[in-house]
Every structure is written in structure tokens, then in C-alpha cells.
């Protein structure tokens, strides 16, 4: 029996990277997991792999920046699994743009996917958490908020800072219903997407600044997300857990 046995969890952006690792760890701990992603094909593949391993998993195609799509996601998961206990707002994008050359539309798109999505998903999940008198919301922010780097990510870092503010304020507003809201700030995590945008030299420079001279993996983030989803963290809310090997400290 895992520490999340029979809990129902939604993880957005779960087709790959950190989101997929969180979904896998939740499944190992006994949760019934909905892998939500705009990449429906990859989400289906990930969910099938979990199902073949004996876990209860489903994939749901969703555009987390769209209100109707998010509401449909929550409805499908509750219809399939009967309830909702855990929401992980992980979906995010980070295209590079020089800030003064960025269009308003590009700025808005980043805010929509990275920040607005947290509000939409939390709002849609809230009635089920309120009814049950408990719930866990885990928002994935970024160490970039603490360090203000790298360059050409002003829009992304602003959205990730917004997630921390959202986490703190929402924790105040939903505490009376015994709903915990926390955030995780991953460091430089070794993922497929990182390899597309960072050179080995750039990664090495970051690791050199860490107290622990090892790469942060998606599973490192996932294990923190397991803790924040479990009863072990029932008296922790409004907090941000930094998982970066000791790069930034706050």
C-alpha cells in the first residue's frame, strides 16, 4: 500500500519531463492518476505504460489555458475515477524571447499557459475539495524566480513568480476547508526539453553553483510532489519547496 493509495490525482503537462515523473511516482504510491496534456498522443502512451504496469491511469487531452477545456478535464476525471484529491499544476512552456522585441500576444500566451492555467484548474477542482473538506494543490514554479536568470525569459520568470504569489494567496483563501496549497521550484532539471535549449557548458556552470554537484532529475521533483500530496504534509500550506541541489537559497 502506497502513501497515496486510492487517491485521485490530476497532473497537467504529464506527457513528458517533470509532469510524467510526478504521474509515475503517484501511480507507484497507489494513486489513480489522470495525465493531462495538450500532446494527447504522448499522454496516452504514458498512461498506457502505467496501466500495463498495474496502475489506474487515464490520459486527457487539455489546453490548460482554455476555461472550457479545463472544466471538461475535471469532469472527465471525476466521471472516470469518482472523485478528486490532488491537483498538480505543472504544465508550462518557456520559449526564449528578447523582452523588448516580444509581442503582447507572446507575453499573454506564456501567462495563459503557465499562470492562468493554475487559476483555471484550481477553480475547477475546488468544488470537489470543498465537498470533501480536504484537498492538495501543488503548483510547479521555477528556481528562475529566485535567481532572475537565464536571459530572454522575462515573460517566463514573471509567470513563475506569479505562481508563488497565487500559491500564497490561495492558501489563505482555502485553508478553512483544510485544503493545502504549496509550490515547488525545480532547479536545472535534466529533461528532454532542457537538452533543446541548454548546452553542456551552460548546464555545467549551473551545477558548479550548486551545493550538491549532481544533476537534479525529474524524479527528485516527483518525490517532493509525493510528500506535498500525502498526509505527511497536512500542516504545510502556502509554502514553496526549492529542489535545486542548493543553487538558490531563500
Nearest to 39 by CA among 23, 60, 56: 60
Over residues 201-224, mean pLDDT: 96
Residue 62: predicted pLDDT: 98
Q: What is the pTM of this model?
A: 0.96
d(CA 13, CA 38): 7
Distance CA 185, CA 44 (A): 27
CA separation for the pair 174, 152 (Å, rounded): 35
pLDDT at 196: 80
Percent of the chain with pLDDT over 70: 100
Domain assignment of residue 110, yes or no: yes
Per-residue confidence band for 191, with pLDDT thresholds at 50, 70 and 90:
confident
- Choosing from 26, 94, 128, 156, the catalytic residue is 156
User: What's the total number of domains in the chain?
Assistant: 1
Q: Is the pLDDT of residue 197 over 80?
A: no
**In what order do the strands lie in the sheet containing 32-37?**
57-61, 32-37, 8-12, 86-89, 135-140, 179-186, 240-243
Question: Rounded mean pLDDT of the chain?
Answer: 96
Judge whether 163 lies within some domain.
Answer: yes
Q: Decide if 248 is inside a domain.
A: no
Q: How far is CA 76 from CA 35, 105, 142, 215, in A?
A: 12, 30, 29, 37
Distance CA 113, CA 90 (A): 10
Q: Mean pLDDT throughout 204-229?
A: 97
Residue 209 lies in a domain: yes
Within a domain: 3: no
pLDDT band at 195 (very low <50, low <70, confident <90, very high): confident
pLDDT in tens, 1-38: 799 999 999 999 999 999 999 999 999 999 999 999 99
Query: What confidence category does residue 199 fall into, taking pLDDT thresholds of 50, 70 and 90?
Result: confident
> Is 189 inside a domain boundary?
yes
Q: Is residue 156 among the annotated active site residues?
A: yes
Q: Which domain holds residue 36?
A: 8-243
Is residue 120 domain-resident? yes
Digit-coded pLDDT (tens) for 159-182: 999 999 999 999 999 999 999 999
- Cα 108 to chain centroid distance, Å, stands at 20
Tens digits of residue pLDDT in 134-151: 999 999 999 999 999 988
Residue at 249 is within a domain:
no
8 A C-beta contact, residue 94 and residue 139:
no
Question: At 66, which CATH number?
Answer: 3.40.50.720
Contacts of 102 (CB under 8 A, 6+ apart): 154, 155
Q: Per mean pLDDT, which range of 102-106, 201-205, 228-232 is the poorest?
A: 201-205
All three cell numbers of 150: 537565464
Amino acid at each position: 500500500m502506497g502513501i497515496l493509495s486510492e487517491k485521485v490525482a490530476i497532473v497537467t503537462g504529464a506527457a513528458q519531463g517533470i509532469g510524467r515523473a510526478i504521474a509515475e511516482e503517484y501511480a507507484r504510491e497507489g494513486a489513480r492518476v489522470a495525465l493531462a496534456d495538450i500532446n494527447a498522443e504522448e499522454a496516452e502512451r504514458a498512461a498506457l505504460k502505467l496501466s500495463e504496469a498495474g496502475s489506474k491511469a487515464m490520459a486527457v487531452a487539455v489546453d490548460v489555458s482554455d476555461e472550457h477545456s479545463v472544466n471538461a478535464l475535471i469532469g472527465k476525471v471525476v466521471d472516470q475515477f469518482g472523485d478528486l484529491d490532488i491537483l498538480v499544476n505543472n504544465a508550462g512552456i518557456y520559449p526564449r524571447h528578447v523582452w523588448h522585441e516580444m509581442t503582447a500576444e507572446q507575453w499573454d500566451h506564456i501567462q495563459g499557459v503557465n499562470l492562468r492555467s493554475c487559476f483555471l484548474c484550481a477553480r475547477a477542482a475546488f468544488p470537489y475539495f470543498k465537498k470533501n473538506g480536504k484537498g492538495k494543490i501543488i503548483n510547479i514554479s521555477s528556481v528562475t524566480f529566485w535567481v532572475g536568470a537565464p536571459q530572454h525569459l522575462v515573460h517566463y520568470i514573471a509567470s513563475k513568480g506569479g505562481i508563488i504569489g497565487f500559491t500564497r494567496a490561495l492558501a489563505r483563501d482555502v485553508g478553512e476547508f483544510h485544503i493545502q496549497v504549496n509550490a515547488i521550484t525545480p532547479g536545472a532539471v535534466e529533461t528532454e526539453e532542457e537538452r533543446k535549449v541548454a548546452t553542456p557548458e551552460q548546464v555545467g556552470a549551473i551545477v558548479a553553483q550548486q551545493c550538491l554537484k549532481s544533476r537534479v532529475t525529474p524524479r527528485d521533483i516527483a518525490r517532493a510532489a509525493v510528500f506535498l500530496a500525502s498526509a505527511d504534509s497536512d500542516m504545510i500550506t502556502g509554502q514553496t519547496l526549492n529542489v535545486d541541489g542548493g543553487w538558490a537559497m531563500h
